[in-house]
A and B are shown apart, each in its own frame.
Chain A
Amino acid sequence: MAKDGVEQQGGASARIATFIVRWRWAWLALTVILAALSVARLDRIVPIDPDARIFFAPENPDRQRLDAFEAMFSKDDNLVFLVEPLDGKVFTPQTLALIGQMTEDMWRLPFVRRVNSITNFQHTYAEGDEMIVRDLVEDPANVTPEEAAEAQEIALSRVELRNSMIDPAASITQVQVLFTLPSVNPEVEGPKIYNEARALIDRVEAANPGIDLRLTGSVALNQQFADSGQKDASSLTPLMFAAILLIVGLALRSFFGVASVLLIIILSALGGLGALGWMGVQLNSVTVLAPLYVMTLAVASAVHILVSVRQHMVDTEDRKEWARRALTEHMGPIVVACVTTAIGFFSLNFSISPPFRQLGNITGFGVLAAMIYTLTLLPALVAILPFRRQTARPAAGLAMDRIAEFVIARRRPILLGGIVVVAAAAAGVSQLKLEDNFVEYFDESYEFRRDTDYAEERLAGLYQLEFKVDSGREQGINDPAFLKTVDGFAEWLRAQPEVVNVRTLTDTVKRLNMNMHADDPGYMRIPEDADEAAQYLFLYELSIGYGMDLTDQIDVSRQFMRVTFNMRDVTTSDMRDLTGRAEAWLAANGGQSLTAAPTGIVHVFNLISYRDTRAMLTGTAIALVLISAVIMLALRDIRIGLISLIPNVLPAVVGFGLWGYGVGAVTLAIAVVLAATLGIVVDDTVHFLSKYAKARKEGKTAEDSVRYAFSKVGMALFVTTAGLVAGFGVLAQSGFAVNGDLAKLTAITITIALVADFLLLPALLIQLDQRRTPMRIPAPAPALVAAGLIGLGLVAFAKDVMAETPEEKGLAIAMEADRRDLGFGDYTVQGQMILRDSQGQSSTRVFRNMIKERPEGGVGDLSVIVFDEPRDVKGTGLLTHANIEPADDDQWLYLPAVKRVKRISSSNRTGKFVSSEFSYEDLGGQEVDDYDYKWLRDEPCPNLGGTCYVSERTPKNSKSGYSKTIVWIDQAEYRLDQVEFYNRRGEFEKVMTFGGYQQYLGKFWRPDTIRMENRQTGKSTELVWTDYVFNAGLEEGDFDAQRLDRMAR
C-alpha cells in the first residue's frame, strides 16, 4: 500500500476494528440471522438432480437439437441388461427360456414403454404369398435344441441384431428396456426404475448361477450421476474435515482456534448453499462438492486472523486488543482476497454448463459469507471465548528469511530460469485434448463404468450417435431414391472401422421386399416403387407386437427418418471426425434435398468442452480485468498491480501445460479452471504485495521490502497454500472425473502460484520497481474504478442469477401473452361444439358465451355459457367466476326446467365438458399464475406460420388432469398455436390446435376454430367460434349468481 494510503487505511482499519470489537455481541446476533437466512430455503436444494443432461443449458444449441430430435422420434430412456451365459452359448433352451422370462418380467418395471430382446425380435419371412411376422422365439419356455439352433442362424444373419442384440459368436446378448418417464418427479422416477431393475437382476442371478448379468443404459447413467454426487459428498466430506483439522490444528495449536475455524467454515458453506436454495436450484453431481470448495477457501482468511492473534497475544493480556490488532492488520487484505476469489468464481456464470454456473455462485456467495463471518464473528469469538494466552513468541520464519535472501541474491537466474520453465510448461497446453466421455467421467470404482465398458467391448456401449435424415417433403420417406440413399449411408457407416452397428428402417424395408417376393434373396433391396414401400411398412406396422411401432424410426409426417449407430473404442475427436466424414458423405451422395445432422447425447457432450472453452474465454477475461482492478485499487499503485498479473495468470498456464504433458485428456472442467483459480492465487499475491508496498512506502529499498514481506506473511502464505492444496487434493479424490479434474488442476495451479509468489514475484519486483516512485492513482480514480467495478461485477456474476433462466423466459412469455390480452373489457361470442368419435359419428352443441374481464389481480374473468342446442338443454346456463389456482372457480348452474340456480362444485378439473374432449380445466379460466413455466426452444409454428416459443407448463394444482402441457405461442402476436397435453401418467394424450385468428379492436386476437384431438382414443372435438362482439356492454352485475336466470335465455 502506498505510504499515505497505508496510513489512512490503517487509520480507517483501526477505527473499524475498534467498532467491530466493541459491538462483538451484535455479531453473534447477526450470525444467527445470516445462518437462519441461509438455511431458510435449503429444503429446495435436495435431492440431487439425477440427470446427465444437467450439463446442457437449455440455450445450448446442441441440446436444442437433441430435444427437437427426441420430440420427433422418441426420448430413449433405457436400461440394457447384458446377459452372458457362462457356457458361452446364448442359443440354448435354458438361456432362451431365461431371456424369454426376463423379457416378460421387464414389462413390470415402472414407466416401461417397450422391451426388446432376441426372443421377441420381430422376424419376418414369406410363407407362400403370405408375409409372416412373428417373435423370433415364439415360446421361449419350451424351445427344442433344434429350434434354438434355427433361431441362432436367423439372428446372426440379421443385420438389425448383429453386434447390437447379439455378438457374432452368439455368446452374449442383451435385453433392452425402453422407458417413457413422466418427468414429474425426476428424482424419484429414475431411481425407482433402477432399484427395481437391480432387484430383478439379483433375483435372476440367484436363480440362474450359470448366467452373468450386467446393467447399463441411460437410466443407469443418470443414476450414476446422482450416486456419484452422493458418494463424493459422503466420502470426501469427512476427509476434508480431517485435512482441515490437521492443518489448522498444526498451525494454531489451540482448541478454541480450531473450533472457531470449523464454525466459520461450516457457516460459510451454509451461506453458499443457502444462496443456491434462494435461487431454487437443486444440487447435482458437481455442486454437491461446492460446500467443500467454500470450506477450503474460507479456512485461509480465518487462519490469517488467528495467526495474527497468536502473535499479538504475546504483547498484551487484553483479548479484545488481540482481536482489534489482528483485524486492523488483516482486514484490508482479507476483503481484497475474498472479493477477488468471489469475482473469479462468479465469472463461472459465463459457462454454458449450468452446474458450473451454480458451483461458481455457491462458492462466490460462500466466500463472501466467509468474509463477513471472519471479520465479524471471528473477532467476536476471540474477544469472548477463553483462548489460552501463549506468551512465547512464535517460531521465527527462519526458512522464510533464507528464501528471501536466496531470491534477492539470485534474482536474475531465477527470472531467466522462470521464463524458460514457464515457456516449456506452457508448450504442454498444446497437448491437451478435450475428451468428454460421459462414461469415463466415472472411474473404474463404479460398477456402472465396468459394466458399460464390458458392454462396449463385447456388444455395443453407450456411444450412440443419431442422424435425422430429411427427405425434404412429407411422406418423402417412401421415395425409393431417398430410401436407397439412406441405405447407402447405412452401408457406408457399417464399413467405418469405429462403427459397431447401424440401425435404420431401410433394413426392414429391404427385408420386407424380400419377404413379399417369396423370400427371394434377389429382392433384398429397396423396392422400386414408392407405393410398394409404403404398403410394406403399413403391413408391417399392422402385424408387429404390442408396444412396438415405427414412430421411433420415422416422424408423424413421414418426412424424417432416423439412422442410429453405435461406436466402439472411440475418443471424442474420433467421433467428431466420424460425424464430419458422415456429413461429407451425405453431402456428396445425398443430392440437394437430403440433409442430415448428427445428434444424440454423445454428440452434445462431444461439443460441450469446445463450446464451454469459448464461452469461458470471455468470462475469464472479465474476471482478470476485474481482479486486477481490485488489486490496483487496494494497493493504490498501478505498476505493482500490473506486475501482479504475471504471478496470477502464469500458474494456470503452467498447470495446463503440465497436465497436457502428464495426462493429456481433459474434461469440460478445464474451461472453468482459469477463472476459478485466478481468484484464489491472487490472495497470496495480495498479501505479499500489501506488505511489500507498505515497506516501500516507509522508505525501504525493494530488497528490504521483500525481506519485510517474507518475514511478515511468508509463513502464513505457506500454511494457507498448504491448506488449500490439501483441501483440493481431497476433492481430487472424487471418482467423478469432472469434479476430480477441476480439483486436481486447481491444486496444481495453487501450488505453482505459491512457487511463483515466493520466487518470481520478488525477483520481478526488485527488477522492475528499483528506484522509481510509486505510480499513484489520482484521488478521484478509485471512486470511478469502484463504480465501474461494481457495475461490471454485477453484470458478470449475475448472468445466471439475473439473466433469464428458461423458467423465467417461459413465465415472461406467458405474462406477455396475458398482458397483450389485457383490457378487452367484455365480449360475447357464439360457439358451436362438434363432438366426433373415432368412427366419425358426430354430435353438436350450440351455445353463447359472454365474458367479462376482471382486470384486478388475484381473480380471473367472469363467464356465462348458455346452451341453445340440443333443444332439451336450451336455456341451461353455466356461470363461472374464475379464481387463481389452486382455488376452485366459483360456478353456478341454472336449470330452466325447475327454475333453479344451483351452486355446483368446480373441483372437477378432469371431467369432460358436455362429453367433449375438452375438460373443465381446458375451458376454465387460464390465468398466468395457474402454472409453472419453462421455455424449451423456438421453432416454426406448427399451424400459424412464423416462429413459435415452445414452453412447458406444469399445473400448480395437484388436482389437474395433466402432468404437463407443451404450449406453442407465436412470437409475432403471442397467440396460442398449439397445446399438447400429457396426462397424469406422463403419456401424450391430447393436442389442441388453433386456427383462423382474427384481430378485434385492433388488439385482441381470437381464433375461429379450436380443435382438440385425443391421440389415445381417436376422438376429437371442434369448437367453432363466430360473431365475436367486443364492448358488448356487459357489467359485473350481469354475472351475479342471482341474475343467472335472466342471463340464461
Chain B
Amino acid sequence: MRSVSTAWRAERFGAGAALSLAALVFAGLSPCEARAEEADFGPFTPEYAEFFGKIEGEATLFGEGPRFAGQRRHDLSVAIEPTIRAEWLDGDLEFTFTPFARAAAADDDRSHYDIREAKFDFRSGDWEATVGLDRVFWGKTEANHLVDIINQTDAVEDIDDEDNLGQPMVRVSRLTEIGEFSVFYLPYVRTRTFPGQEGRLRSALVVDEDARVIERDGGRWAPSFAARFAGVFGGADIGLSAFNGVARDPTLRPGGFVATPAGPAPTRLVPVYETITQFGFDGQYTSGATLWKAEAIWRDGQEDLRGRERAFVGATGGLEHTLFGVGEGTGFLENADLGLIAEYSIDSRGRNATTIFQNDVILGARLALNDIADTSFLLTSAIDHEFGAASIRLEAETRVTDGWIASLEGVLFVNSGDDPLASDLRDDSFIRMKLAYFW
C-alpha cells in the first residue's frame, strides 16, 4: 500500500520539487536556486517527498495590568512550523524534519526555536524503529496528562501542557497480537522553557534556566529509559508504561538569596531535574457514546513542596459523554455534537503536591457544529477542591477558508489567591486570537 499512496502523492506534488523546497528551507537558499533544477541524490533519491506546514500570527491581550515590573498588557507573535518528509523503500523508511520557531514581541524568552522532529522511522513487518528527535504522546484524559513523560513541555507556548519539545531518542517497537511493545532510549535531557522577566504567566520569581541542575550523572547527556505497552481489548484501550531517568518537571528551588531587612530573600528560582522512576497506567473504555478514561502513576525520587523526597501516587479519571445531533429536530444546531467532560484529579501529596491538579474537578463541554467550516468550541474549567482556585478556558476554532484557521482562546483565573502554585497567575487572565495558514 505504501507504494500506492506514495505514487499517487508523488504525482500530485513532484518528489523533486518537494525536495527543492526542502533544500530551500535547509540552507536558506534563494528561491531562484531552488527552482533551478530538481534535486538529485543518486540512489538515495526519495521515492516520495512532501513539504507542508503552517504559519501563524497571534495577538494576546491580558485582562489586567501587569503584576511584575517589565511585563506588558499585550503580546504579538508569529510562529512557523514547516515539515519536510521523504520516503524510501516503498515507504518503509521515512525521514521527517519539523523545525519550529516563534518570535514574540513582549518576552525574549518566548521568542524561541526548536526542532520538533528530525527523525528516521524504519519499519519491517511487525518491527519499527525510530532514531532522532520525535514527539510521543501517552495518555487518555483531557486535562491532566499524568502518564505522558517522554517529551519536555514547551511551557512558553501555552499553559495547557499540549506543546512539546522534540526529544532525542532511539525507539524500537514490536506489534503483537495483543498490542504494541516499545522501548525507548533517551540520551539527552531537554529542559523546560520558562517565561522570562518580561513574560506574563510566570511565577513571582523568574525561573533561571541557565542555573538549572540535573541530578544525574552526565548532565544534559544523562540517559533516560522508558518502556510502554499499548493494546486494545474489546472496548478497552489499555496502556502500561515505565520510566527511569531525569524528571521532565523540575523542582523549583529558591536561589540567588540577597540580604534584606527581613532576612535573606530569594531573587530567582532554580530548576532542579531529579532522577525519578515512574510506573503508569492509562486506560479508556468506550461504551456507546460514553468514554470512560483513567490514568494513574506511581513516582519516586522527587521532592514535594516542603522539600521532602518521597514516593507518591497521582490519579485522574472521568468520562466524556457525547450527545450526537443535540439540536436534531429543532432547526438549530441540527448536526452539532455536544461532548460533556467530567474528570477528577488527585495526588497523594495533597497540599504539598507540585502539580496544580492535586485535588481538582475538571468540567468541560465540547461543541462541534459539524458545519463545512468545522467550527468547534471547547470549554474547560478546573476547580481546585483544596484551595478553591478555578481556571476557566474557552477555545473556539473555525475555518475561514480552505487552509486558513481562525481561533480564539480565553483563559480566566478565578479565586487563585490561596493556591500556592496558581496565585502568581491571578492577574493573568487573557484572550488570545490566532490566525493560521496551512499549506
Contact = CB atoms under 8 A, between A and B. Distances in A.
Interface string A819-844: 00000001010100001010000011
A899 interface: yes
A1037 B324 contact: no
Contacts of B438: 870-872, 874
A915 B286 contact: no
Given A872-B438, A907-B289, A850 B1 contact: yes
A806 B332 CA distance: 41
Interface in A898-940: 898-900, 903-905, 907-908, 910-912, 914-915
Interface size class of B (residues with CB under 8 A): 35 or more
B385 to A, nearest CB: 27
A905 B5 contact: no
Given A903-B237, A911-B335, A830 B8 contact: yes
Contacts of A850: 1, 5
B374 A873 contact: yes
Interface of A: 826, 828, 830, 835, 837, 843-844, 848, 850, 868-874, 888, 890, 898-900, 903-905, 907-908, 910-912, 914-915, 1027, 1029, 1032-1034, 1037-1038, 1040-1043, 1046, 1049
Contacts of A869: 402
Given A870-B399, A907-B289, A1042-B179, A843 B372 contact: yes
B123 interface: yes
Interface in B140-160: none
For the complex of A and B, list the 7 residue pairs with the smallest distance between their C-beta atoms, beginning with the closest. Answer: A871-B438, A1042-B180, A908-B324, A1032-B1, A872-B438, A907-B288, A1034-B1
Contact of A915 (B179, B370, B405): B370
Interface in B108-146: 121, 123, 125-126, 128, 135-137
Contact of B5 (A848, A1040, A1041): A848
A910 B325 contact: yes
A1040 B233 CA distance: 12
B180 A872 contact: no
Interface string B179-214: 110000000000000000000000000000000000
Contact of A1046 (B4, B121, B372, B399): B121
A826 B2 CA distance: 13
Nearest to A905: B289
Given A869-B402, A888-B288, A905-B288, 18 more contacts: A826-B1, A843-B402, A848-B5, A868-B9, A872-B399, A872-B438, A898-B162, A899-B137, A903-B286, A903-B291, A905-B322, A908-B325, A912-B335, A915-B374, A1033-B1, A1042-B180, A1042-B231, A1046-B128
Interface in B274-326: 284, 286, 288-291, 322, 324-325
B39 interface: no
B253 to A, nearest CB: 31
Contacts of A828: 1, 4-5
Nearest to A1033: B1
A890 to B, nearest CB: 8
A1046 B237 contact: no
B328 interface: yes
Given A830-B8, A843-B372, A870-B403, A907 B135 contact: no
Interface string B66-102: 0000000000000000000100000000100000000
Task: Name the residue in A835, A869, A1037 with the highest tally of chain B Cβ atoms < 10 Å from its Cβ.
Answer: A1037
A869 B162 CA distance: 24
B175 interface: yes
A911 B402 contact: no
B376 to A, nearest CB: 12
B232 interface: yes
9 contacts: A828-B1, A848-B8, A869-B402, A870-B402, A871-B402, A903-B284, A905-B322, A914-B370, A1043-B175
B1 A871 contact: no
Nearest to B180: A1042
A1042 B232 CA distance: 9
A911 B335 CA distance: 6
B371 interface: yes
A1042 B291 CA distance: 18
Contacts of B289: 905, 907-908
Given A874-B52, A899-B136, A1037 B175 contact: yes
A593 B313 CA distance: 86
Contacts of B175: 1037, 1040, 1042-1043
Contacts of B136: 899
A837 B372 CA distance: 10
A872 B125 CA distance: 31
B408 interface: no
A1038 B286 contact: no
Contact of A871 (B8, B325, B439): B439
A835 B372 contact: yes
A1008 to B, nearest CB: 16
B14 to A, nearest CB: 16
Contact of B137 (A888, A898, A910, A912): A898
Nearest to B336: A911
Contacts of A905: 286, 288-291, 322
A1049 B4 CA distance: 13
Nearest to B162: A898
Nearest to B436: A872
B103 interface: no
Nearest to B126: A1037
A911 B334 CA distance: 9
A908 B336 CA distance: 11
Given A888-B288, A1042-B180, A908 B337 contact: yes
B230 interface: yes
A1038 B1 CA distance: 10
A910 B370 contact: no
A1029 B232 CA distance: 29
Contacts of B125: 1037
A910 B328 contact: yes
Contacts of B399: 870, 872
Nearest to B334: A912
Contacts of B94: 1049
Contacts of B374: 873, 914-915
A719 B106 CA distance: 112
B4 A1029 contact: yes
Nearest to A900: B137
A1042 B230 contact: yes
A843 B399 CA distance: 12
A693 B438 CA distance: 100
Contacts of A1034: 1
Contacts of A873: 374
Contacts of B237: 903, 1041
A910 B123 contact: no
B329 to A, nearest CB: 9
A1032 B5 CA distance: 9
Contacts of A1042: 175, 179-180, 230-231
Contacts of B231: 1042
Interface in B331-345: 335, 337
B90 to A, nearest CB: 9
Interface string B399-439: 10011110000000000000000000000000000001011
Contacts of A1029: 4
Nearest to B328: A910
Interface string B366-381: 0000111010000000
B4 to A, nearest CB: 5
A1033 B217 CA distance: 48
A56 B249 CA distance: 77
Contacts of A837: 372
A915 B162 contact: no
B35 to A, nearest CB: 22
Given A888-B288, A900-B137, A911 B324 contact: yes
Nearest to A895: B137
Nearest to B87: A1049
Nearest to A1041: B232
B240 to A, nearest CB: 13
